């Protein structure tokens, strides 16, 4: 407990799923938490704020639209004005509801919309937060939430995977350019994380395929990603920067035919 005591943490896309999981664990570790989301219903917003406040930490909500630079500027400016600093920035928000597909299915408008939300938005919020982190004697930690979609080609989600691959490289660029000024930047790449929102929409057949390829005997939970983000946001990771940390239960750590050979009760080779 208190590994993030008195640190100010901005967490984008933190009203559900992985982002909310990070906010809950950050609050339990003593951080002052800035919740943000897009078009969040008033009742849900209040419910989240009430839950976080029960942990005895300071918290407030700010609407954010990754497509709107002024919205991003406002989030960072209000946080700095309220707390006087920004210690941690967790870039979790991404628009996964935008239409995507194979290369021949994608239009330029679809491609641009996904890159504008998932890569440009991440770039710009980092750009806006950097001046406040540079003024902070303790520096800062930037944590980007990536995707296992960048681990290899897939049948769809072409624009999304390419945008997230850009987030991987942005992570390393920021780490290099600002490391000497006491700002670290890392990326957490989740595997299949079961959230209250996605569990009922994922078909059992798909769940079975994933579980057969995950090395441990369960799906990921938001807390798994949150725990990695606590480490990267805390002083414990002071010598860790420019890293892409995959948190997927080992899903991407073996050759792709392992599940089939296991079903045959045979070794791979």
- 97 pLDDT more than 80: no
Q: How confident is the model at residue 164 (pLDDT cuts 50, 70, 90)?
A: very high
- Give the separation between CA 4 and CA 24, rounded to whole angstroms: 12
Q: What is the mean pLDDT of residues 149-156?
A: 88
| Catalytic (active-site) positions | 160
- Torsion angle of alpha carbons 214, 219, 221, 226, nearest 10°? 0
- 175 pLDDT more than 90: yes
Domain 8-198+221-249 in CATH 2.160.10.10? The answer is no
Sign of the CA dihedral with 250 first, then 252, 254, and 257 last: positive
Encoded tokens for 155: 């049948």
Q: Where are the domains of the chain?
A: 8-198+221-249
- What's the pLDDT at 269? 63
- 268 pLDDT more than 80: no
pTM beyond 0.85: the answer is yes
Q: 116: which DSSP letter?
A: I
Q: What is the mean pLDDT of residues 23-38?
A: 96
Sign of the CA dihedral with 91 first, then 97, 99, and 102 last: positive
């Amino acid at each position: 407990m208190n590994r993030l005591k008195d640190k100010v943490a901005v967490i984008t896309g933190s009203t559900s799923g992985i982002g909310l999981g990070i906010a809950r664990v950050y609050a339990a570790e003593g951080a002052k938490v800035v919740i943000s989301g897009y078009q969040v219903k008033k009742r849900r917003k209040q419910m989240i704020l009430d839950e976080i406040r029960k942990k005895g930490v300071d918290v407030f909500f700010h609407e954010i639209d990754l497509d709107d630079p002024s919205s991003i500027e406002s989030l960072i400016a209000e946080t700095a004005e309220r707390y006087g600093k920004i210690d941690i920035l967790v870039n979790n928000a991404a628009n996964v509801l935008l239409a995507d597909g194979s290369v021949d299915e994608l239009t330029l408008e679809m491609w641009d919309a996904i890159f504008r939300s998932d890569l440009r938005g991440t770039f710009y919020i980092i750009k806006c937060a950097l001046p406040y982190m540079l003024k902070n004697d303790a520096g800062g930690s930037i944590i980007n939430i990536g995707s296992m979609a960048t681990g290899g080609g897939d049948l769809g989600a072409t624009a999304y995977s390419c945008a997230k691959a850009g987030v991987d490289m942005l992570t390393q660029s920021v780490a290099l350019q600002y490391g000497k000024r006491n700002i670290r930047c890392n990326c957490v790449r989740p595997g299949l994380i079961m959230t209250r929102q996605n569990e009922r929409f994922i078909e059992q057949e798909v769940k079975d395929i994933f579980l057969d390829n995950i090395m441990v005997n369960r799906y990921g939970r938001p807390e798994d990603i949150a725990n990695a983000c606590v480490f990267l946001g805390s002083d414990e990771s002071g010598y860790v920067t420019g890293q892409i940390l995959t948190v997927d239960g080992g899903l991407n750590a073996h050759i792709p035919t392992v599940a089939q050979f296991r079903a045959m009760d045979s070794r791979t080779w």
